[in-house]
Amino acid sequence: MKITDVEAIYVRSERVRELCDSGQDALIVRVHTDAGISGLGEVDSNPLAVKGAIEGPFSHSLTCGLRELVLGEDPFETEKIWHKMYAGNLYGGRRGAGFHAMSGIDLALWDIKGKALGLPVWKLLGGGFHEKIRCYASALWGPTPEATRDLASRYVDRGFDAVKFGWDPMGQDEKTDVALVREARRGLGEEADLLIDAGLVWDAKTAIRRARAFEEHGIFWLEEPLMPDNYAGYRRLSEAVDTRIAAGEEESNRGSFLDLMDLGKVDVVQVDLTRVGGFTEAVKIASLAEDRGLKVANHGFTTYINVAAALHFLNSIPNTLIAEYVAEEETTLRDHLTRQRIRAQDGMLAVPQEPGLGVDLDEEAVVRMRVG
């Protein structure tokens, strides 16, 4: 079997709101083979930058479009192909969008392998730790503390026993920050876990102050309170408070995760399969976290391709903590793009059992939403 083509498909909702919701557009990767088997992947990044990184022509030996590098390769040789993409894209791909682009292709290759062998990806990775994985409802804050309380109550009514709120309007002032957390807790009641995503809004001293203020509301973790390169600040925060500190969605390969774990001393390592180099790199990051006694959660605020990939990954490692599941009430393209819709039931997600990722595109929806 040989790779014959790589598609980078940019899809976008008709209405895109100016807020931190990466489910409003997507870069889908589809890899084709001469055996008639194709695989799906996704990249959550700057879509057009990733599209260029995949479709670009050969420039020189350290700068080459990823499609050119993988054509003619055997899709089963995922480790070899991963290193070929990395070495052939060093100038633009050691971090950021160029590296993210590798993720989509790697995911698609594992999807191909699973389909060819009739096995789910988690089984190819040697997993099998779970039949179901606990998830949290992931949502943006309401516009006010009171609106957030109402949202929290509705998520509990939908069966979730863990809910995360994040981003605006957190970070405006201490009074608002504390009120948001207080009202979220009131809406959840005392039993459900409350997770807080600060959205990169504070310096280390402010983050320590907020974490201590939030303690009376029993939060499960505090996520990304600092800018991602502030590893010294993360260390100060982690050593100053008892609350779990979670981060990682801004990181890409093992090197940056090592900085986060060893310099930043975070408690929970968040891995986005569509950014970290796909399954091939993600399992190595999880192993490094396991060596350090750290738990792993996924990050994913995009389509069901990402959700499915995360479930395969989390089922293949021993140090899974919890899964992110987008529960935003406003419909985005994720509910139209794939034939399958992965639903949480009683706060749990079932691990896919179908060959490959177990997700297929809705081709009519792709035609409607495709850009260019």
CA atoms within 13 A on the CB side of 255: 4
Of the residues 32, 130, 299, 312, only one is catalytic, namely 299
Burial 62-99 (b: 16+ CB within 10 A, else e): ebbbbbbbbeebebbebeebbebbbebbeebbeebbbb
Place of tokens 């609350």: 243
Token reading at 246: 């979670």
Distance CA 362, CA 372 (A): 18
Phi first, then psi, for residue 177 (nearest 5°) are -60, -50
Phi first, then psi, for residue 252 (nearest 5°) are -120, -90
Q: Which of 24, 31, 30 is nearest to 3 (CA)?
A: 31
Which helix (H) or strand (E) segment holds residue 40: the answer is strand 38-43
Q: Which of 102, 94, 80, 107 is nearest to 256 (CA)?
A: 94
Burial 235-254 (b: 16+ CB within 10 A, else e): bbbbebbebbbbbbbbbbbb
Distance CA 250, CA 138 (A): 17
Do the beta carbons of residue 40 and residue 27 sit within 8 Å? no
* Beta strand ranges found along 199-332 (DSSP E): 219-223, 245-247, 268-271, 295-298, 320-326
Residue 118 CB neighbours (<10 A): 10
Decide if 299 is catalytic. yes
Catalytic residues: 299
